[in-house]
Amino acid sequence: MKLSNIFKKSLILGVSALMLCSCEDFLTIYPTDKTVLEDYWKTKEDVDMMTTGAYKAMIATAIQKRAIIWGAYRSDELNLLSSNTNTNLRNISAMNLLGTNEWCSWGAFYTVINDCNLVLKHAPEVVELDPEFTSGDYDVVRSQMLALRSLCYFYLVRAFRDVPYNKEAYENDTQELYYGQTAPDSILQCCINDLEEAVNISISTGGYGTSSWKNTGFITTDAINTILADIYLWRASLTHSTADYQKCVEYCDKVIDAKDALYTSQMSSAAVGVTTKEDKYHLYDGTMEYLFNFARGNSRESILEWQYDGNNNVNEAVRDFYYSTSSTDAHGMLMASKIFGGTPSSNANESGGSTIHFSTNDYRYWTYVYESTDGDATEFDIRKMCASTSDASVTSNITTAYKRNLGRIYKTFDQNWIVYRLTDVMLMKAEALVQIASNDEDQNTLKSAFDLVQVVNKRSMKSTATDTLKFVNYSTKEALELLVLAERERELCFEGKRWFDLVRFSYRHMDTSKLDFSKTLYQLNEEGHSFANVYNVMVDFVVRKYETGGNVVSYKLKTEPYLYFPIQESQIDINPLLHQNPVYTLNESTSRVSDD
C-alpha cells in the first residue's frame, strides 16, 4: 500500500487518540477541542498526550483481534463456532487465504508505528521549549516508543514475514512515502538495535510504585527485555543460531531475576497473594492463579498488559471472539478445539497427542474452558479471560467442570489483554535451552530446561497429584522440545501465542539450505529459489483440531511462504513497490498458486 495513505490515516487516528488520553490514565476521555495539530510539541503535556495516544492506538479492536487471528486462530487451538458463517474466518480456517480477506490488513499496526515515529521526531524539541519536560522524561518516552514500534514490527514480521519498514513520521499530504517490503533479518536487527537502546533508558521493574497498574500497563525494563528474548528466540529458530538462543536465555534471566528481586523487596509491605513456594519464580498457587492473572489482572506474574476499564475502553476482541457477540448470544465467534476437553491422554506431551492435557489433576483442564469433561464435544466455550471474579477461584479438590456463565456485562467488558507474563518467559528460556543443548548427552542443559517446565506445570497441579512430570521421561532433545511446546499450549492457550510457537517449531526442522532471511519471498521466487517444506509434525499438530477436511488443509500448508498471510490486494493496487507472497494469487477464483 502507498504508505502516504497508511500514514495519513495513522495521523488522523493518532491525533484523535491523543485527544482522548492523558499520561496519568490513558482510559480518561478529554474534550476534543483541548488541542489542535498546529499546537503540538510545545509542552510536556503535548508529548505525554501523544505518547499515551500511541498506547491507545495499540489497544484498538483492530489490533487486538489480529493478535488472536494471527497468533492463535490458524493453530490447533481455535475453530470458528460451528454455526457461525463468517466467510473470512472460515477461509482462514480452511487455509484458503485470499488477498481480499479483511484479516490481511496491517494498517492498524502502521497507525501505532506512525504515532511512535511522530513522538520520536518531535519530543526532543520539547526538551528545549518546556523546562517541565526534562531529558530524563524524554528518555522514558523514547524507550517506550522505540519498544512499542519494535513490538508492532515483530507482530508484522511473524504474520507476513516481509513488510515495509519505516522510521519516518508522516505528518501531511505533501509527503510521498513509498516503501517496498524489507527482508526479516534486517527488520529484526533494527528492532533489536532499538530495544537494546531502549532498555538502558527505561523505567525499571516496579518503577511506578507498589501495586500501580502502570507497572504492567506501560512498557518497562521487564517488558523490553521480554520482547528482546522473544525476538531472539524467533530469529534463532529461523537461522538455527546458538548465539541467538543464548541471547534469549540472557534476556529471560534478566526478567526472572528482576521479578525475584522486586518480590523479595516488597514481601513485607505489599499484598503478594498466594505462592506455591519461596523459589525464585514466586508463582501463584494453582487454586488462585486464575483469579490473580485473568480475573483481576495486573498480577505479580504479569509483565505487560493492555488496559481496559469497561467504560472508556472495552476489550471487544476477547468479548466478541471468546465470550459473546451480543448481550444475549450464547457463544463467542471462536471456540476452543476438541483437544481441550474429554479424557486427558497419556500422549498429550507427544507429537501424536489427541488432547493437550495428560491429567485431570491440572487446574487448567477445569478453568480454561467450560464443560471440559464432555467427551463428545467437538468444540468448547472458552472460560479463560471470560469468567468473572465471582467464580474465578477454584477449590483444591475440584472435580466438576464449570458450566457456561454469561454473568459479565457485555457492554462494559473490561478484561485486560496480557501481552507477556512470567511463565511465558520461563518457557521461552526452556525452549532456548533445549536448542542450546549440544546433544542428548548434554543432560545438565536439558535438565535445566525441564526444571523450568516442571515449575510451570507443577504449580497448576493439585498438591496431592502423583502424576507430575518426571525428567526420565523427557531426557532427550526431541522429547523435551515437544514437552515445552505442549506446556506452552497448556499455559498460554488463547493468548495469541500458539501459531507463532508452531512456526518456530517448524523452522527448527526445515532445511536450512533453502532458507534465506536476507531476501524477501518475492526476491527468492524471482531467482527461482526452491522453498523449504513445512515440517510435517507441525502440520500434524495443526490439523488435529479438524473433524473433517484435515487432509485438505495439510496439503495447503506445504512450504515456507504458506506460513504467512498474503498481502492485502488493495494495498498492492496502491503501492507498486509491494509484492505478493508468491504462493498466493491476486485472482479471487483461487487462493493459491503451485509451488512447482
354, 479: one domain:
yes
By CB atoms closer than 10 A (0-12, 13-18, 19+), residue 514 is middle
Q: Name which of 110-114, 217-221, 267-271 the model is least confident about.
A: 267-271
Contacts of 176 (CB under 8 A, 6+ apart): 4
Q: Name which of 29-38, 102-111, 557-566 the model is least confident about.
A: 29-38
70, 150: one domain:
yes
CA distance 296 to 284: 13
Closest-CA residue to 154 (of 87, 250, 226): 226
Query: What does the pLDDT average to over 169-185?
Result: 85
Please say whether the beta carbons of 294 and 385 come within 8 A: yes
The answer as to whether 499 is a domain residue is no
CATH code where residue 2 lies = 1.25.40.390
106, 162: one domain:
yes
Residue with grid cell 500448508, as numbered in its chain: 557
CA distance 202 to 169: 22
178, 313: one domain:
no
Q: What's residue 38's pLDDT?
A: 60
The answer as to whether 130 is a domain residue is yes
- Could you give the dihedral angle defined by the CA atoms of residues 44, 45, 51 and 53, in that order, rounded to the nearest 10 degrees? -170
Query: What does the pLDDT average to over 539-559?
Result: 91
pLDDT at residue 596 greater than cutoff 90: no
pLDDT at residue 143 greater than cutoff 90: yes
154, 273: one domain:
no
Query: What does the pLDDT average to over 119-132?
Result: 96
Q: Which residues pair with 417 in a beta bridge?
A: 306
Length of the chain: 596
368, 445: one domain:
yes
SS3 call for 526:
helix
Written as nine digits, the cell of 311 is 467504560
* Residue 428: CB atoms within 10 Å: 26
Last residue of a domain, one of 461, 489, 517: 489
DSSP 172: S
483, 365: one domain:
yes
192, 278: one domain:
no
Residue with grid cell 516442571, as numbered in its chain: 454
pLDDT at residue 333 greater than cutoff 50: yes
Tens digit of each residue's pLDDT (9 = 90 or more) over 281-314: 999 999 999 999 999 999 999 999 999 999 999 9
118, 71: one domain:
yes
Tens digit of each residue's pLDDT (9 = 90 or more) over 202-249: 999 899 998 899 999 999 999 999 999 999 999 999 999 999 999 999
CA distance 504 to 256: 23
247, 354: one domain:
yes
Written as nine digits, the cell of 283 is 508463582
The answer as to whether 101 is a domain residue is yes
Q: Name which of 78-92, 224-238, 381-395, 542-556 the model is least confident about.
A: 381-395
Closest-CA residue to 9 (of 577, 571, 579): 571
15, 128: one domain:
yes
CA distance 523 to 518: 10
Q: Which residues pair with 421 in a beta bridge?
A: 302
CA distance 168 to 170: 6
Q: Which residues pair with 284 in a beta bridge?
A: 275
* Residue 352: CB atoms within 10 Å: 12
163, 222: one domain:
no
Query: What does the pLDDT average to over 199-204?
Result: 97
Return the sign of the alpha-carbon dihedral for residues 353, 423, 435, 536. positive
268 pLDDT band, cuts 50/70/90, is low
Amino acid at 398: I
Residue with grid cell 495516544, as numbered in its chain: 53
Q: What's residue 407's pLDDT?
A: 83
SS3 call for 584:
coil
The answer as to whether 363 is a domain residue is yes
Please say whether the beta carbons of 566 and 584 come within 8 A: yes
CA distance 331 to 321: 9
Please say whether the beta carbons of 281 and 455 come within 8 A: yes
- Could you give the dihedral angle defined by the CA atoms of residues 299, 300, 302 and 307, in that order, rounded to the nearest 10 degrees? 40
Domain assignment of residue 529, given as a range: 1-202+509-596
The answer as to whether 243 is a domain residue is yes
Please say whether the beta carbons of 365 and 342 come within 8 A: no
Written as nine digits, the cell of 352 is 501424536
The answer as to whether 113 is a domain residue is yes
pLDDT at residue 21 greater than cutoff 60: no
Written as nine digits, the cell of 431 is 525452549
> How many domains does one find in the chain?
2
Instruction: Compute φ and ψ for 306, nearest 5 degrees.
Output: -85, 130
Last residue of a domain, one of 489, 519, 548: 489
Last residue of a domain, one of 489, 521, 556: 489
Is the whole model's pTM more than 0.85, yes or no?
yes
Long-range CB pairs of 211-218 (<8 Å, 24+ gap) are 211/270, 211/271, 213/298, 213/307, 215/298, 216/298, 216/302, 216/303, 216/304, 216/305, 217/26, 217/55, 217/298, 217/305, 217/306, 217/307, 218/55, 218/144
**Average pLDDT for the chain:** 89
Written as nine digits, the cell of 93 is 480456517
The answer as to whether 504 is a domain residue is no
User: What are the angstrom distances between the C-alpha of 48 and each of 23, 57, 452, 504, 571?
Assistant: 5, 14, 39, 37, 32
The answer as to whether 502 is a domain residue is no
Tens digit of each residue's pLDDT (9 = 90 or more) over 376-386: 999 999 999 99
Stated as kind and residue range, the H or E segment containing 245 is helix 242-266
CA distance 565 to 157: 10
By CB atoms closer than 10 A (0-12, 13-18, 19+), residue 83 is exposed
